[in-house]
Amino acid sequence: MRLSLSLLLLGVMSIAACSKPEPAPEPVRAVRTLTVARAATSGAHEYAAEVRARTESRLGFRVGGKIVRRAVNLGDSVKPGQLLAQLDPQDLKLGQDAARAGLVAAQANMDQTEADFKRFKELRDQGFISSAELERRDTALKAARAQLDQARAQSSVQGNQAAYSALVADVAGVVTAVEAEPGMVVAAGAPVIRLAVDGPRDVVFAVPEDKVSTLKALAAKPGYLKVRLWGADAEPVAVTLREIAASADPVTRTFLVKADLGSGSAAKAMRLGQTATVIAESPRMEGITKLPLSALREDRGQSSVWVVDASSMTVKSQPVQVAGADGNEAVITAGLAPGAVVVTAGVHVLNPGQKVKLFVEPGSAVQGSTPTPVAAK
């Protein structure tokens, strides 16, 4: 009897040892929260930019040759007609002398042919020569005149070629680059000096592909596009969108944008090449909600947040619609009602229906009690 009882107890203990232990209760996590309140936003995007001249020309000699002198340096201001660089003019002067000699020879031939024609005309009038002979003399006279015109034109061309040995500024401006030095032999048209024309100025910057349409929409709203010089305390200057590149840069995949600085005193005070910041301000949006970026999570491919049920102190997932970011805050346009309590930290360790408690700062006077969530600013 005792043996049977012992075996029965041993079997019960074996079954109890093989059974699965009950899972430990899920811990109650302390969470930081924020009470949803309506707000307004006018987000802005900033882009690094550079001040450039509206027109920038690469100047070069109209003839080839060896550079013997450069009269300006980088950053110099030049006036119309000012000498920029000089070629060796020796060969060009020799060509000009040869053209002048050819012109003198053509003029002498013309004078002789014209005198012969007059004499032969008198002989024909007296009947000593035929009309056919006079026609041949007339043809020779026309050819001499054509040769004289050709020599005169050639002489003018050679004169211009000699003048082209001096590179002069056509307009007032600033030297922004020097691309050839004395001693170099350059071909006709090769860039030597880059000149920024003194006139309207643009601020040039690049924007990513996804911001082009937004920038075009802002172009029709005056005052939403401004520029501020780096390191300057002055107020930003309003600019006007003038040009957006038709295609993206093949390397950076960004679009080059040019904005007109206008003709005000602030624009004239900006120096070429200065670095600036372009501020593209979005229109003001009312009735939106701002949450810290740490409050967002992705749930089944959609942005969501954890909302605390105050009666049961549990959390549930709530999908939201994100319109963008304003600094370190996300702009929520749909999905949350005013007064909802949203978890703002530790969102990736929570599960639906999990028990939570509101976090209390250490040393708080109300430690141990349930604090009131802070409203969004």
Domains, the chain:
29-41+287-375 (2.40.420.20), 45-53+198-281 (2.40.30.170), 57-88+171-196 (2.40.50.100), 90-163 (1.10.287)
- Pick the range with the lowest mean pLDDT from 44-53, 212-221, 284-293: 284-293
pLDDT value at 371 more than 60: no
- Pick the range with the lowest mean pLDDT from 69-73, 256-260, 282-286: 282-286
Q: How confident is the model at residue 53 (pLDDT cuts 50, 70, 90)?
A: confident
Kindly report, residue by residue over 270-315, the tens digit of the pLDDT: 778 888 888 887 666 556 677 777 777 777 777 787 787 777 778 7
| CA dist., res. 304 & res. 34, Å (int) | 15
Identify the pLDDT of residue 231: 65
263-280 burial: b if 16+ Cβ within 10 Å, else e: eeebbeebebebebbbbb
Please measure the distance between the N-terminal and C-terminal CA atoms of the chain and give it in whole angstroms.
79
Identify the pLDDT of residue 376: 40
Write the Ramachandran bin of 301: left for phi over 0, alpha for psi from -120 to 50, otherwise beta: left
Structure tokens at 285: 């949006």
Q: What are phi and psi of 180, to 5 degrees?
A: -150, 145
- Pick the range with the lowest mean pLDDT from 35-39, 252-256, 361-365: 361-365
Q: Which residue has the higher pLDDT, 182 or 7?
A: 182
pLDDT value at 72 more than 60: yes
pLDDT value at 257 more than 70: yes
Q: How confident is the model at residue 264 (pLDDT cuts 50, 70, 90)?
A: low
| CA dist., res. 289 & res. 40, Å (int) | 8
Helix ranges, 59-207 (H): 90-125, 131-163
Identify the pLDDT of residue 83: 94
- Count CB-CB contacts under 10 A for residue 215: 21
Identify the pLDDT of residue 186: 93
The mean per-residue pLDDT over the stretch 322-340 comes to 71
Identify the pLDDT of residue 279: 83
Q: How confident is the model at residue 361 (pLDDT cuts 50, 70, 90)?
A: low
Identify the pLDDT of residue 3: 52
Identify the pLDDT of residue 169: 93
Q: Cα 199–204–207 angle (5° rounding)? A: 160
pLDDT value at 374 more than 80: no
| CA dist., res. 333 & res. 32, Å (int) | 22
Identify the pLDDT of residue 78: 92
**% the chain with pLDDT above 70:** 78
pLDDT value at 119 more than 70: yes
Locate tokens 């995007």: which residue? 45
Identify the pLDDT of residue 369: 40
The mean per-residue pLDDT over the stretch 13-17 comes to 52
Q: Which of 42-56, 214-228, 292-306, 316-330 holds the top average pLDDT?
A: 42-56
Q: How confident is the model at residue 372 (pLDDT cuts 50, 70, 90)?
A: very low
Q: Which of 12-16, 18-22, 117-121 holds the top average pLDDT?
A: 117-121
- Pick the range with the lowest mean pLDDT from 57-66, 280-289, 299-308, 351-360: 280-289
